[in-house]
Amino acid sequence: VCSMGNSTSRLYSVLAKTLSSGAVSQHQDCLEQLDPARLDPIDPKDLLEECQIVLQKRPPRFQRNFVNLKKNTASNHRPIRVMQWNILAQALGEGKDNFVQCPMEALKWEERKCLILEEILAYKPDILCLQEVDHYFDTFEPLLSRLGYQCTFFPKPWSPCLDVERNNGPDGCALFFLKDRFELVNSANIRLTAMKLKTNQVAIAQTLKCHETGRLFCIAVTHLKARTGWERFRSAQGCDLLQNLKSITQGAKIPLIVCGDFNAEPTEEVYREFSNSSLNLNSAYKLLSPDGQSEPPYTTWKIRPSGECRHTLDYIWYSQHALNVNSALGLLTEEQIGPNRLPSFNYPSDHLSLVCDFSFNQDPDRLL
């Protein structure tokens, strides 16, 4: 890692530090040393500059543009920007996922974490939903809390990261929101069930109050079971999550946004469950298609020993009766991704980040 400039080394020393052991005691030591309440806030521009210093030998970040989806509907408040991203657990990227076209050098955490942070800092989400987070305590919580985010982490009970030598602890879902924009009203950590059995997959659901409008809404993040052959299992997990969200939103009286890696193509039953739910959900990224009815052709694209994997698995669902999608971030093109696919020296994960700007619907007749 490049050395930090003298003027910022005290503030950003955490950026150059990564725990080399997965021992829980060391995570706790890190938390004690880097208690955000005792540290100064970070200027996002300065942190972005520090990331760029670390990444100076890497290719520049890909250019992606927002697509304006706003119809002629007035909004009396700033949009709420939501970012969804499976960032690729470090232990899985290095030890289990077998990205045969990705050089191991491109997966070095010291630089890859800066690519992840650079992407987050570039889009400045008000709410950030992440999956496969295995560096929460030593990287994301210390840094993002100092950027003004309130942070929540819920690890998988039996994370596959723990099978990897020199892991950094379990991976899980993480949810971050800007405290100057929202107030936490309620928070639930949900261990998903399937066929009445508790599973290894989790979700976080938080009810927030928007300071500007006084409106309540619920934001949820999840990561469903992976791999072919587990379609019925994912369907059962989706049903369980929907039941929990129905209760939390009082049967859709509270608007809802659900972010996640569902590990399911739009042809799967769990996708249909969300599409047809009584919560009246729509998938935001469908709005990028010409007819507004088709999902993107891919949200993940990688090459493993078994061959090339190009799938649409990641979604941002929203209450279409109560929320409008003002804009959505366009996906990387095949040319940008390149023949070796993802991850790469250019891009830190095998999944693309999804980013949407939402506003509350102002038509009271359409609100439940």
10-residue averages of pLDDT along the chain (368 residues): 39 48 41 56 95 95 93 81 98 92 95 97 98 98 97 97 95 98 98 96 98 97 97 98 98 97 98 98 97 96 94 98 97 96 97 98 57
Q: How far apart are CA 97 and CA 160, in angstroms?
A: 11
Confidence (pTM): 0.91
* CB contact set of 109 (below 8 Å; sequence gap of 6+): 18, 90, 135
Contact criterion met (CB below 8 Å) for 86 and 349: yes
Please name the amino acid found at residue 116: I
Give residue 38's pLDDT. 59
Give residue 40's pLDDT. 84
Contact criterion met (CB below 8 Å) for 92 and 334: no
Strands 354-360 and 149-155 come out as: unpaired
The total number of residues shown for the chain amounts to 368
Three-state SS at 179: coil
Contact criterion met (CB below 8 Å) for 153 and 136: yes
Q: How far apart are CA 28 and CA 194, in angstroms?
A: 32
What are the structure tokens assigned to 29, written together?
């030591």
- The CATH class given to the 78-360 domain equals alpha beta
Q: How far apart are CA 54 and CA 87, in angstroms?
A: 19
What are the structure tokens assigned to 235, written together?
């369907």
